[in-house]
Amino acid sequence: MKLGIVILAAGQGTRMKSRRPKVLHELAGRPLLRHVIDTALELSPERVVVVYGHGGEQVRRAIGDEGLHWVEQREQLGTGHAVQQALPALEGLDKVLVLYGDVPLIRARSLRHLIDTTESALGLMTVDLADPTGYGRIVRDEAGNVLRIVEEKDASEAERAICEINTGIMLIGVERLRAWLQRLSPDNAQGEYYLTDLIAMAVHDGIAIHVAQPEDPVEAEGVNDRAQLAALERVYQRWQAEALMAAGVTLRDPARFDLRGTLRTGMDVELDVNVLLEGEVVLGDNVRVGANTVLRDVTVEEDVTILENCVLEEARIGSGSRIGPFSRIRPGTHLVGGAHVGNFVEIKNSTIGHGSKVNHLSYVGDTHMGAGVNIGAGTITCNYDGANKHRTLIGDRAFIGSNTALVAPVSVGDGATIGAGSVITRDAPAEKLTLARAKQVTIEGWTRPKKEEG
Ligand code: UD1
Ligand code: CA
């Protein structure tokens, strides 16, 4: 069976009250439409067709064209009209699965179930909702056969009481679809071409309507406003948290954990509350991450402890290192291993050698630091001259006294010691003490000023 998937994404999303097209709003850091496309691709269809309209170019640019057929629906005349625009792109296919760009949690397993169990030309995914308000209702006869779908705005009071609703997800034989779409008319409360009218047509043509339900009813929930978006974000985050815990990760509170990207973990990883992970994050064996820490595109090797309130971005943290609390590690940083980075320390685009320590109040940028170095409190690498960035080299076992400014380009040799408060503008030789500061003087006979009388 040659399967095509059509994703309807042309709607305006007025209730989001946004300049951004609805399907580009993000769930767990990915556009809603991207979720649906990724799920569609899991089913290995012959073709994925995205029907776009509102904010079209923006949507195409954000999603990228890879492996997708884009079809424009210039005017949004309804879901039936939208599928009609996709028809030319469905040439040569047997069946088409219709998905919605604003129903992001639908899972491939549930879709697979619909596909595998539908033998006729029409399969329909429905769910029972305690509150069916706003959805199309599934009208059945006394024997339980599906007769038609009625939209809320067209429904009688009795029909509105029906709790079985249309998820909008349908599997339709392409040949039948062509014929049925030609017969649609906008003769309804919204003046739209309803895809849902296909059900009554199929019944009229003697086609058995097959009904399947998703594993979890929440999969069918759509995003129409920001409150629904936030609610689905929580559902998605709970799913991710459950999967991680099942894989052996300790989450101190799964309700206070967010992953917006991908996470690979070793054994016995522990995450305290309010940890936020973005992009591609790798945490090795025995990594512990303290409360309120953000990791974005970071690889952390085994036995690393990251304490509370740290922000790490595009960095690699070698095994046995300890970071935080209150450390900021910026892109291009590599802690080789066993390093300590403490509070109010910022490190950017630098290599920190094995066992080196930068424990308090320092800025280290564009620096190559050897092993066993000790950086005193308040040390700053002055890497920017107002026009260009320059590098600082610090040799193995160097000891940099507190409150030192290393004015780059500059190098400090192996085993060198720099006296506290120095401004180092020229290279400091290995194994020697270098000082660069005014000599201490004491002024004899000086008295403190006194307040003038009167
Ligand atoms: C639709 C269904 C309803 C179902 C509900 C499930 C119809 C007539 N109604 O109602 O039975 O319970 O979804 O969420 O199908 N779209 C287009 N072009 C258009 C119109 C819509 O691409 O001209 C897209 C939208 O972007 C959206 C989807 O189709 O992704 C659904 O459209 P929407 O207007 O939200 O339909 P509902 O009124 O929610
Ligand atoms: Ca909708």
Per-residue pLDDT of 86-115, as tens digits, reads 999 999 999 999 999 999 999 999 999 999
Residue of 54, 87, 100 with the most ligand 1 atoms within 8 Å of its CB, for mutation: 100
Q: What is the pTM of this model?
A: 0.93
Q: At what angle do helices 174-182 and 79-86 cross, to 10 degrees?
A: 130
pLDDT of residue 43: 98
Q: How confident is the model at residue 6 (pLDDT cuts 50, 70, 90)?
A: very high
> Atom of ligand 1 at shortest distance to CA of 73?
18
Q: Which of 54, 69, 360, 368 is catalytic?
A: 360
Tell me what the mean pLDDT of segment 303-332 comes to: 98
333, 313 in Cβ contact below 8 A? Answer: no
Give the number of the atom of ligand 1 that is nearest the alpha carbon of residue 22: 26
Does position 356 have pLDDT exceeding 90, yes or no?
yes
Output the average pLDDT for the chain. Answer: 97
Using an 8 Å Cβ cutoff, are 240 and 260 in contact? no
Query: Nearest bound ligand to CA 129?
Result: 1
- Residue 135 CA, distance from chain mean position: 29
**Of 195, 40, 41, 218, residue with least CA distance to 128:** 218
Whether 54 has a pLDDT exceeding 80, the answer reads no
- How remote is the CA of residue 261 from the centroid of ligand 2, in Å? 26
Q: Is 340 a catalytic residue?
A: no
Q: Which ligand places an atom closest to the C-alpha of 81?
A: 1
First to last CA, the chain: 103
State mean pLDDT over 210-236.
Answer: 96
Residue-range domains of the chain with CATH: 3-220 (3.90.550.10), 226-434 (2.160.10.10)
Ligand 1 neighbourhood includes 101 CB (under 6 angstroms): yes
Q: Confidence class of residue 437 from pLDDT cuts 50, 70 and 90?
A: very high
Averaged pLDDT, 250-279: 98
What are the residues facing 345 on neighbouring strands? 327
Tell which atom from ligand 1 comes closest to the C-alpha of 12.
26
Lowest-pLDDT range, 66-70, 146-150, 387-391, 403-407? 66-70
